[in-house]
Structure 1
Amino acid sequence: MIPIKSLGQAERNNWYFGALAGVSFNGGSLTSLNDNGILRPIAFGQIQGPDNIAVVNDPAGNLLFYTEGRVFKNRLQQNMPSTPTDEYAFRESQQVVTRNPGNPDQYYLFVIIQDGLMMRLSYTIVDMSLDNGLGDILLESAHTIVLNNVGQQMTTAQHANGRDIWVICQGNGTFNSFLVSPGGVSTVAIRSQTGLSPVDGNFNNFGAIETSPNNQLIAGIFSDLGKVLLFEFDNLTGQLNSIYEDEPAIASPLPFTGVEFSINSEVLYVTHNTAGIRQYDLSDLSQIPSFVSITPQTGGLAFSHLKRGPDGKIYVSNRGTSFLGAINDPNTLGIGCDYQTNVFNFSSGAHLLDLPTFLLPDRPEGISFLNICLGESTQLRFGTDFFSTNYEWDLGNGTTIMGSDTINYTYPVPGRYTVTVQGRDQFGSPTFSDSKEVIIYDSPVIAPIDDIYNCLEDTAFFFIFMEDEILGVLDPNVFQVSYYLNEEDALVRDNNVIEYTPGIGSQTVWVRIDNKLNFQCFDITSFDIITPEFFTIDIDTEQFLCDNSDLSLRAPDGFLSYEWNTGSTDQEIIINATGDYRLTVVKDLGNFTCEAFIVIDVSLASLPVIEMINITDWSANSNSIEVIMEEAGVYEYSLDNRIFQSSNIFSDLPIDDYQVFVKDVECGELVFSEELFLLYYDKFFTPNSDGFNDYWQIFNSKRETGLRIRIYDRYGKLIAIIDPQGIGWDGTYNGVDVPSSDYWFRVERPSGKTYNGHFTLKR
C-alpha cells in the first residue's frame, strides 16, 4: 500500500487490467483489487481482445461498470443481464468510453470488432437506470456500426464547448473524428489525412493514440511503421494536423507499445518494447528536440503500456510481471521525472500486457467551461486540490463575480474573453490563480419560414435559391445553411439535401443554420412543401435572342400573379440579354393558392451552319438530299428558296441541279449551299451512227469537277477512260468496235465516294 495525492481525476480511481489484475486509488493509498472478474485469454504473449479494459468510475471515484467490449460487469462484479454480446473485439485494439451528454444515465462504449478481414468501429450503450440501478446494455444498440475499415487506434477528446466528446480513430492513413452530443453519435466523420500515407495501407493500422489532458494534442505510435507522430487537435472542429514525426525505430518486432502525456500536456512519454521509455519535450511545439531516454538501464524488462493515474503519476506495465512501475513527476524533464521500476506489487493478477481506459474527467484540473454559444448560460468551473473558501472570477469583459468554484454567466456579445480565477482562503490570502481564454460564438436565430405550395411536376426545388431569404440579416460569412428531410438528421447534421422533387402530398423540410466555426451553435426550424395537384406553365424553356433585336417572353394566361427574376410582375417582359429567366406563377385553386416556377434559358442565336449534305442519286426519280446542321436548332429547309419544309430530307427527286436553302426559324437567318448535281446514266446505248444513243456518258458529269470514269468488260479488262467533259464513249477499243454485251463502269467522285454499275451495248 502506497499513499497517493488526488488531482481531481477520480474517474481514474479504479483500474482493472491484465490477467485478473486490478488496483484502486480510493482511500488515499494504492491498493490491490482482487475481484477482477473478466477472464482474458492470452496466446503467444498477446491478449485476445482489446488492448485495454474500459473502467467507468463516477466523478467521486465509485465504480459503475467495466468491460472488455463483450462481457460487461456491474459494480457488484455481476454480469449485466444482457451480456455477453455476440461480438469479439479485434486483438490489441483500443476501446474508449464516453458519457452521453444528453442523458446522465447512459454511456457509449466504442470498440473495434472484426468481421472477416474487415475491422469495424462500433458502439454499445450502457444505461445505468436499468437493472435497479446496476446498469445494463441496450440490446438494440449492441455494436452499432459507425465506420468500416479502421485500425487499432482510438481515443477521445473534450469538445471546445465543454459538453460534447470527440471519438477519434484511424484507418488506412485517414483520421476520423465522430462527435458525441445530446443528439447522439454523428454518422458523418470529420476526416483528416495528415502525417500518414494511404500508400502504407494496412501498415498504418497498428499501434495506439492518446489525447493530451488539455485536449489540444494527439500523439500516436504506429508499430508496423516504426513511427512516433504528434498532431495538433482542434477540439472545436475535430481536425488533426501533423506537427512532428520521430525517426523510425530500427528495433523489431513491434517496437513502440504505449503512449501517454504528462498532466500539464507539455511532456510526452512513449514506451519501446526493448529500449525502455522515451521522453519528448513539448514545451515549444515549433522546436521539439530529440527524445531522451529515462530508462538507460532496462534490466531486461519488456515495456508495455503507460497510463496516467488520478495522482498525476504515469504508471508503467511490463510484460510477464506482477508489479507496476511509475514516472513519479511526469512534468519534469530528464531523469528528474523520477522513473521507478517497481512501485507496487499485486497480491493477485499477472501478465500486465495492458492498462485500462477511462472517462474524460467531468471536472478537469484548472478552468473548464460548458456552453459557449451566444445566449447560453456559460458555466465556468475550476478543478483543483487547493482548498479555498472564496473564488474571485474576472470574466474578461469588466465583470467580476465572487462565488464558488462553479459560476454561471451569460455573455451579452460574442468574442474572446480571458477568464481569471483567484482563490482565497478564509483569511483572504491567495491560494492559487489560473486563467484561460474562452470564446463565445455567435448563435443564429432563424425567422419563421412560410410553407410553400408547389404544383409543378418533376421539378426539383434547389434550396440554394432560398438561402438569402432564410439568412435574412444573418452574416453569410459567419453562418451556413443546410437542409434535411427529418428532424433527427438535422440535429446530427447527417444526410443533408441540396434539392427536393416533390410529389403529390406534403414534405417537411428542416432548415439548420450553423456557426461556421462552431457548428454546436445552431438553430433549426422547418417548413412544408405542399403539392395539392400538378399544373404546367406552357412556355418554351429554350429561346434565342437574335442580333440587334429584343425578345418577348410572355407567360400563359390563367394565373393569379406573375413574377420574373428581373423584378417584373408583368405577364410579358421584353429582354435584350442572354441568361436564365425564372418565372414564378401563382394559381388560384379556391381555398388556397399554389405556386410553380419555370426557368427559361435564353441564348444568342448564331448563324446556321450546314455541316454536311448527303446525296443519294443514280436513279431517275428516286434520289434524295439530306441536310446535316452543325448545331441543333429550329430550322426550315428549301430547294428553291420559296417553299420551305421542316424536314431536313428531300425525297423522290428527279435528276436535276439543286441548291439547298436553310432558314433559322427563330431569327429568320438564311444560308444556302453550293449547287448540287445528281448523277445518272443510261442503261443501254446503240453506237450505230444513226444519231440516237450513239455515245454513253454519265448525266451531269460536266457539272461535277474532278469526276473519274472507267469502263470495263465483263472480265474486268479496262476498255476506256471517259473524259467527264467530253461527249462520252463511242463503243470502241483502240479504234475497233467492241461486240454487243454488258459493260461495267466505275465512277470516283472528288469526295472519295465511288459508284459501280453496268449497262448494255447493243449493235
Structure 2
Amino acid sequence: MIKNYIKFYLTCLFVLVSHTLTAQLEASHWLHTANKGYKFTESSIDTYDYTQDLGNMLDYKWVLQSTMSDAAGNLLFYHLNGAVYNSNHQQMPNGDVLGLFHVSNPGGVLHHDTIKSLIVPHPGNSDLFYVFYPHGPVHASSLKLSYSVIDMSLNGGLGDVTSVKNILLINEFNGELEAVFGANGIDVILILVDQFTNHIKTFFIDSSGINNTPVLTKQIFPFNRAENRNKISISPDGKKLAINDYSGANNTFEQDLLVYDFDSSTGLISNEILLHRTSINTNEIFSTLRMEFSSNSNYLYLYGAFVQHMNGSFISSEEKIARYNLSTVTANSLPSPILSLTGSNLVFYYSTMELAIDGKIYVYNFSVSSSIPLSVIDNPDSDTIETTRHYKKCDFEYSYDGDFDFLRSPPNVIKSYLKKDFSYSNVCDGDLVEFQSSLPPHFDTFLWRFGERNSISTLENPSYQYSSVGDYVVTLEASSSTTGETYIDSRGITIQKNLIANDIDDYILCDEDDDGVENFNLLTRSSLLTDADWDINFYFYESQEDLENDNPIVEPGNYSNLSNPQEIFVKLIPECGGDCIEEDTTSFDIGLIEYPEVFLEPIYYLCEDEELILELPPGYDEYNWSNGDTTSTATITSTGNYFVEVVYENNGGACSVVIEFEVLSRDASVDVEVRDFTLNDNSIRVSVDGDDFYEYSLDGITYQNSNVFTNLPIGEYTVYVRDTDGCFTISLDVVMLFYPRFFTPNGDGFNDNWQVINGNFATSNIVSIFDRYGKLLTSFSTDSVGWDGTSNGVPLPSSDYWFTMKREDGSISKGHFTLKR
C-alpha cells in the first residue's frame, strides 16, 4: 500500500494541501504452479483454481513468480514459469522467454526459493509496468538480471510485452530483488545484490525510466548461491534494510546479521547495528535462512536454526522462527524464539517466509511428504508475540509432486504495498483489543471504525471489545491540522475462539459380566470435551502425574478401567489455531453400574373377559411397557407379543434391560383314551395339549391331579378338565363298551339279538361275526339291532362264535360269546 506524507511549500507562503492516503490491494494475488491461487484482502483469503496456458514453455522448468493487481485487488497480470500471463491466465502474445531457467543438468538441485522476479509500476505512466527477472543456466555460478516492459493498453486491455524486452541490467546477480517506493511515494527503488562486485546496489526508477547508474550501498561476502540464504530484506515503510552477510568459505560459516536505516531519498544506508554474528567457533548461534519484516516495520522475523557448538564441533540444532524488536534490540544478541518448526520430512533450505497484505506472515514449510502445510503468524506486529501461536492453517494445503523444480514459493511484491500504520493486540474472544497507531506525530485527529455497528473511537490508541468471534475490518482515518494530510487505511482482524476444555458428565457403562471391569472407548468423549470447530488432538491419562509427565494412555479407544469409579485426565492440543488456541486440560470420571434385576416368564395366559396383571420390582428409574404403561405394574387386556424396558440410572449413566414375552389365550385341546371291554376294570386316560397345570374329574365336583381313572365299570362318563388357575373348564363325554357273553335267539323277546353294549354311542364301529372255523357270517354297525343268530336266514346251531370290532380310530377289539338255543 502507498502511504506517504508530503509537505508542499511555496515561496513566502505556507499552503496546506490535503493528500489522502488509502489502502491499496496491488499485492492481493498469490499463484502457484499447481494452478492454485490465493486472493488476499485485509481480512480474508479466498482460494481458487485456474488453468494456465503454458504456451511454448513445456520443455523447461521454472519457478519465478511475481504478480500485479489493481488498487481494488483485481488481478492484472503475473510473471510465472518464465513467461507473462494476463488476468485470463493466458500467455501474453509477446510474453514468452522472460527469465527462463534452462535445465541443462536435470540431476542437479536448484536452490531457487530466494530467486524471484518482480513487477513494479512505471512512475510516469499508469499503463506501463516493469518486469525484472533473473535468467541463466540452473548451475551457473551467477545469474543475469534483465527486464521487460508491459503495456496494459495493448491486446484489448489484457496487456502485452512491448518491444522493450529482455534488457540486461546486471550481468552477475544472486537472484534477490527487493523494492519500495521512494520518498515521494511515486518513484520506485530497486534493491539487489551485484555478485560481480559483491555489493548491494539500489536503482532508482522515476517518470523518465530506469536510472542505470546504481547507488553502491554495502559490500558483502562473496555470494555462494548454493547456500540459498536471504541476503537482503527491506521494511514495508522503506526505513530499514536487513542484510544477511554470510560466507561459507573454508567451512567457517561466518554470518553477520545487520540492520541499517534506509534513506528512500538517496538509496543509501546508515546507522549500522550488528544484530548477531555467527561462527563455527561460537558456542551458541542463530543461523538465518530467511528474513521478513512485520507490516509496521517494528520487528524483523527470522527463519533459521539455533545451533550449539563446542570447541568448534557441531552439537545440535533446532529450527525455529525468531525475531528482533528493532526498537529495543541490542548489538550482537540472539533473537527471541517464537516457535520450534517441526514436521514430517521438512526441508528447511527450501522453505520460505512472506508478509501478505493482511499483515500476517505466511511460512511455507517445505516437505517431501504428500502435503506442504502453509503456516501463519497471525499478528506479527504485536508486542505480545511470545504468546502468539504459530500454527498450521488447516484450509491451506497443496500437494508436492516430487519435483524440487516445482517448488511453490510466494510472489515477490513491492514491500510498500504491505505497509500498515496501525497494529493491534489481544484478539481472543472476550479480550479488550488494544489498537495502536504508528502514524507520524503530526497526525492529531483520529477516527477508528472497528467493524461492528456503532463501534467508533476518536482516541489515538483506543481499546475495543468485540461482541463475538469472527472476521472484522478495522479502518483508521487520520488527519494533520498542521500539514493538511489525511490518511485512510484498513486491515482485517480475526477475533478468535478460546480453546476451553468442557466439563463433561461421567462416562458410565453397564457392567456386562458383573466383574467391575469394562472396556471404555475414551475417544467417544472427544466431541463433548470442546466446542472448537478446528482439529484437536486428545490425550488421555490415568493420573495427574501421568498428565504432568506426558505419559498418555496408549489405547484410549480400548481402555479397561482400574477402579470404579476412576478419574481420567485429558489434554487438548490443537492441530490448527491462532493466538488464542493453546492447549487445555480437564478430567472426567468413568464408572460402571449394574443392570436392573427383573424377571418375567416368556409366556402368560389371558383368560377370556379378564385382565392379566404383571408386576416387576419397584425402585428403578424407568419402566417402559410396550402397551404404554410406565410403572412397575402393567395391565394386559389382549393377547400378543409384548416387551418392557427397565432403566436404572446412576452417576449420570443408565443401564437398561428389555424383556420380551407373549400373552396367549387360555385354551387347550383334550383327548380321552378309554380302555374298556371289561366288566369292572376299565380305565380312562386324559391327554391335554396345553402349557398349564390341569386337574381332572368324572363328576365335575371332585378333581384329582392324575389324568388317569381306573377300575371303572362299563357305562357313560363325562370327563372334566380344568386349569389350576381357574381360567377354564373343558368337559367331554365318553362311553365304556362291553359285550354280552351269550344270547338266546329263541323268539321269546329276551336276548334274541347279540350287540355290543353301549354300542349305540359309537355308531361308526363295525362288528364282524365268525364261526369257529373263521368263516365270516355277518357284519353290522354298533348302532344297529345286532345279530339274530342266523346266516342267510337259516338259524345257526348253539355253539361259540367269535367277533371283531373295528373302532373309529382303527383299533380292533376281539372276543367270543355263546349262542344258546
TM-score normalised according to structure 1 size:
0.44
TM-score normalised according to structure 2 size:
0.41
The structure with more radius of gyration: 2
